[in-house]
A and B are shown apart, each in its own frame.
Chain A
């Protein structure tokens, strides 16, 4: 497909279980982002991958959260020992970074998200 895809679209899990969320970015996009949107909240940055550089993990809320990006394409966000406050929509976005006259041009395109419910 032409857009960012995510799976599963919905996930219900029990408190304490681990979950894995998957993101397939747009082909050729070098940057990949994970965001979280809790009920009634704005989008919250979690983690960022750019090419082969070390990821920026500064937005991860706790050490229960981790993410990897294999082969510079698909990314997996893992939440260990889930808690009820982890319930949210997890959105992935990808972009292609380009520089014109030293101005960074980058538009992030979002996937449909994974709605996670922790019971």
Chain B
């Protein structure tokens, strides 16, 4: 069974701290790994990773994929209260169609 596991499930830090969110997966027919930020209801796309060891950056956020370890991390530096959200990791697999298998999410709370 395809599985994506995120850790920690919940994290509370102070503004300005740096956080690292983890995602590990066991899937067949891996195509890519995606990170989403979910505030309220709709997840918004952050990164798509297909190659191992290549860091993707967007402002204070960065992410990297390790295909050998079947994992990815999402780093957020100099956190702000607006970073508070659920961060979802999803792995795209091919089973006929391309599907996303999601992890449980990490609920990140940034306190002022």
Chain A residues in the interface with B (C-beta under 8 A): 31, 33, 35, 41-45, 48, 50, 56, 58-59, 89, 91, 97, 103-113, 115
Q: In whole Å, how far is B86's beta carbon from the nearest beta carbon of chain A?
A: 10
Min Cβ gap B63→A in Å is 14
**Chain B interface: which size bin?**
20 to 34
Show 6 A/B contacts (Cβ-Cβ < 8 Å), sorted by A: A31-B97, A104-B98, A106-B98, A107-B34, A107-B45, A108-B100
Residues of B with Cβ closer than 8 Å to A?
4, 31-32, 34, 36, 40-45, 48, 50, 88, 90, 92, 94-105
Asked if residues B45 and A97 are in contact (CB atoms below 8 Å), the reply is no
The answer to whether A41 and B100 touch across the interface, beta carbons within 8 angstroms, is no
Contact of A58 among B4, B95, B98 (CB under 8 A): B95
Q: Beyond the given A108-B34, A110-B43, A113-B41, please list 19 additional residue pairs across the A-B interface where CB-CB is below 8 A.
A: A31-B97, A33-B99, A33-B100, A35-B100, A43-B88, A43-B100, A45-B100, A50-B97, A58-B95, A91-B43, A103-B31, A105-B48, A106-B92, A107-B45, A107-B48, A110-B42, A110-B44, A111-B42, A112-B42
